[in-house]
Amino acid sequence: MAKITVVIPEPSEEYDVSTSRQLQEALTTFKNQLNTSYQKDLKNEQEALNFFLL
């Protein structure tokens, strides 16, 4: 299982452009980490299956 560490900023009481940009960046980082770790997990599972079958 992948370990994801992303800090998502707390929203402020009033709309702030910088907070919105920080949130967008954090979510993009989160998405990229999930995609990367998912591919590693699939590769590890395939390697384990190949090892078992050989």
Q: What is the pLDDT of residues 16-34, one digit of tens each?
A: 888 889 999 999 998 888 8
Token code pair at residue 40: 């590693």
21 φ, ψ to 5°? -65, -40
Average of per-residue pLDDT across 41-49: 84
Mean pLDDT (the chain) is 83
Would you state the pLDDT for residue 34? 84
| Contacts of residue 6, Cβ cutoff 8 Å, sequence gap at least 6 | 26, 29, 30, 33
**Cα(15)–Cα(23) distance, rounded to whole angstroms?**
12
Give percent of the chain above pLDDT 70: 94
Would you state the pLDDT for residue 1? 57
